[in-house]
Structure 1
Amino acid sequence: MTAAPTLEDLLQTCTQSALHLEMRDGYMRDDPLLARWLNGHRDDPADRLSWWNPWLQLIHETTARGVEVRRARVVSEPVSEYIRFEYEITFRNVVSGEQIRWLPRRQATDLALPGNDFWLIDGQYLVVHHFSGEGDFVDDEISTDPQTLKLCNSAFEAVWERAVPHEDFRLH
């Protein structure tokens, strides 16, 4: 039996697009980066060696191949402490080549959104992230079901169309 591909495997082989929809107001409260930020640490964008990591390198390599990597975040306002943290470190994603947009949750009421965060790779593979109620990662599920792929692509594009580019978005 062949193991299912990981998100990293799919990103390494994708050729056109990687779409990521995030809809939670908090993730993994035990994240060491979050703990450092809560204790006052702030990354210096000019000191890339201090914050560059394998994930950012993978995204950089993916976008360097011409793959469009887009991340859309649906957030409640006023934003949570976690979203403030995420907003502040988003410069890392931008430097790695991602396009980022933010959509206030109140502007998403009439959108049909899936129940989970996901990555859609080349429109062919859906990596669904499952989290606990506390925001801790549980596992990933891979789907190639055409109807689910279509729903998630449509949801992502609807959010993307309304969302504000990172450089123009301001926290409330």
Structure 2
Amino acid sequence: MAQSLSSFIDLIRSAERSAVHLEMRDVYAIPNEDERFAAWRQGHQLDPDDRDSWWRPWLNVVQEVTDKGVCLRRARIVSEPASEYIRYEHSFTFTNIAAGEEVRWLPRRLASGIALPGNDYWLFDGALVQFNVFDGEGRWVHTEQTRDQAVAGLCSEAFESVWKRAVPHDAYTI
């Protein structure tokens, strides 16, 4: 299934209680990040005091849904030493937190005892799972959604297991 940014934003806005996101890749090749990634490689860092320069509209949506009481959490399972892309992601994650999202990092070596789905996913209100399928180079291929209770249960259990072992962003250094 193809998905536009606006339809994904509508999906996030539809969450009533929770939205959790599990990321398990060390590299993502997202075309709309190319310019920012290149700037980061040249030494550019986001200014914590210049919120207007941060990624929009995503952070506006994060703030909107967390302001209405939705618990928005993201966990990232990462290899160590971290890939260049993960170091880039880590450098701007403070913006997600400032907008109201909670973020934790789990070194991959600590995830071996956790049953994990094969793809990154979002889980909305413990019921709707959206898998994000990427190719071997980290390019987004498509999304798949399911309301299958067994799949949602697996994803919920996997996320909570990762979350318990993971390190809060402010304490995780790369």
If the length of structure 2 is used for normalisation, what is the TM-score? Answer: 0.92
Helix, strand or coil: the match of 2:159? Answer: helix
Q: List per-residue Cα deviations over 1:22-60 (Å, max 9, x = no partner).
A: 000010164222121112211111011112410111111
* 3-state secondary structure, aligned to 2:116: coil
Match for 2:90 among 78, 87, 99?
A: 87
**Number of corresponding residues:** 168
- Return the offset for 1:106: 0.3
Aligned to 1:35: 38
* Partners of 2:30 and 2:140 within 8 A in 1: no
Q: TM-score scaled by structure 1?
A: 0.93
Identical-residue share of aligned pairs (%): 50
d(CA) in 2 for partners of 1:62, 1:25: 27
* 1:107 equivalent in structure 2: 110
Which sections of structure 1, spanning at least 5 residues, go unmatched? none
Q: Following the alignment from structure 1 to structure 2, what is the Cα–Cα distance between the partners of residues 167 and 71?
A: 14
SS at match of 2:157: helix
Q: Which amino acid aligns with 1:78?
A: P
**Deviation readout 1:68-108 (Å, 9 max, x if unpaired):** 00000000000000000000010110011000000000000
Q: CA RMSD in A?
A: 1.5
Residue identity opposite 1:43 in structure 2: L
1:46 and 1:106 map into 2 onto residues whose CA distance is 35
The Cα shift of 1:6 comes to 3.7
